[in-house]
């Protein structure tokens, strides 16, 4: 449990004590990615995309090209997320402190980080699909409170837990090292990841609360959404860096 608490607070303190560096190295990239997504939403679907995403019309139909827009938005988010995770992980690992506000990718292991992130997200997405399918079958049999509050909370916890169990492969890639998802899973056992996931769910819910509260106000809602998602990426990367540092040394 002590290790889990250390991992959790490392992600917070690393950001708090190096906020200026985080702002300089990653904020502009996330801001540009967010502007691109909101701009595409307005151009492609003729709709200003609010903090809660696309909205159906009065008849419940989604706008034309909404699927294409969603795929493009996902691609932009993954690319920007991989970039920020790489830069921040390398900074936390003291492997690199680049100059400028958009550090160059030249000589950086961005491709490896991107592929690793996609694999991790794919695994988490597969679990999300299975849990969603199970929930759709079990929901009619559940009490109302369990079905609409407890089950989604448990689902979010399990997804966060899996991400943390295998996500140490991301900072490993950022450091230019090879760490398979299986090795990351094995190395993250017994270090209190369950506690990090539980505290992480609470923290993410706290970060999401202002976005939900301001969802009816377009501009403030968008600003808060962009800010909180940026903070979540940085804090989450800090957790993964701490977990990566606790990985056992590979044996010959």
**pLDDT tens, 205-250?**
998 888 778 766 777 888 888 999 999 999 999 999 999 999 887 5
Could you tell me which of 190, 194, 142, 135 has the C-alpha nearest to residue 163?
A: 194
Q: Is residue 85 part of a domain?
A: yes
What 8-state DSSP symbol labels residue 140? G
User: What whole-number distance in Å separates Cα of residue 175 and Cα of residue 96?
Assistant: 9
The pair phi, psi for residue 176, each rounded to 5°, is 80, 20
Angle at 228 between CA 222 and CA 233, to 5 degrees: 125
Is the pTM of the predicted complex or chain greater than 0.85?
A: yes
**pLDDT recorded at residue 59:** 46
Q: Which residues pair with 50 in a beta bridge?
A: 53
Q: Is residue 250 part of a domain?
A: no
**pLDDT recorded at residue 48:** 55
- Please provide the distance, in angstroms rounded to a whole number, between the alpha carbons at the two ends of the chain: 30
User: Could you give the angle at which helices 110-138 and 151-166 cross, rounded to 10 degrees?
Assistant: 150
Residue with tokens 């991107």: 114
Average pLDDT for 161-185: 96
Count CB atoms within 10 A of the CB of residue 40.
Answer: 17
Q: Is residue 37 part of a domain?
A: yes
Residue with tokens 């909370």: 153
Give just the sign of the alpha carbon dihedral 213, 138, 127, 237. Answer: positive
Residue partners of 203: CB distance under 8 A and separation at least 6: 235
Q: Is residue 252 part of a domain?
A: no
Residue 90 domain boundaries: 2-245
Q: Is residue 143 part of a domain?
A: yes
pLDDT at 159 over 60: yes
Q: Is residue 181 part of a domain?
A: yes
Q: Is residue 224 part of a domain?
A: yes
pLDDT digits (tens, 9 = 90+) for 14-60: 999 999 999 999 999 999 999 998 888 777 766 555 544 555 544 44
Q: Which residues pair with 53 in a beta bridge?
A: 50
Name the domain count of the chain: 1
């Amino acid at each position: 449990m002590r290790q889990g608490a250390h991992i959790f607070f490392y992600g917070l303190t690393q950001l708090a004590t190096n906020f200026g560096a985080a702002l300089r190295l990653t904020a502009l990239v996330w801001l540009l990615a967010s502007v691109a997504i909101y701009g595409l939403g307005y151009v492609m679907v003729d709709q200003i995309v609010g903090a809660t995403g696309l909205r159906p019309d009065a008849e419940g139909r989604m706008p034309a090209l909404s699927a294409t827009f969603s795929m493009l938005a996902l691609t932009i988010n993954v690319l920007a997320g991989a970039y920020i995770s790489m830069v921040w992980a390398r900074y936390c690992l003291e492997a690199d402190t680049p100059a400028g506000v958009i550090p160059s990718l030249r000589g950086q292991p961005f491709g490896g980080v991107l592929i690793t992130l996609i694999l991790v997200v794919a695994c988490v997405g597969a679990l999300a699909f299975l849990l969603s399918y199970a929930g759709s079958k079990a929901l009619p049999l559940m009490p109302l409170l369990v079905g609409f509050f407890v089950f989604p909370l448990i689902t979010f916890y399990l997804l966060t837990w899996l991400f943390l169990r295998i996500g140490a492969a991301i900072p490993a890639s950022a450091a230019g090292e090879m760490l398979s998802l299986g090795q990351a899973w094995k190395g993250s056992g017994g270090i209190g990841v369950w506690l990090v996931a539980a505290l992480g769910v609470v923290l993410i819910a706290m970060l999401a609360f202002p976005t939900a509260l301001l969802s009816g106000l377009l501009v403030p809602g968008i600003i808060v959404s962009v800010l909180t998602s940026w903070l979540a990426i940085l804090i989450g990367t800090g957790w993964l860096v701490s977990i990566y540092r606790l990985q056992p040394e590979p044996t010959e």
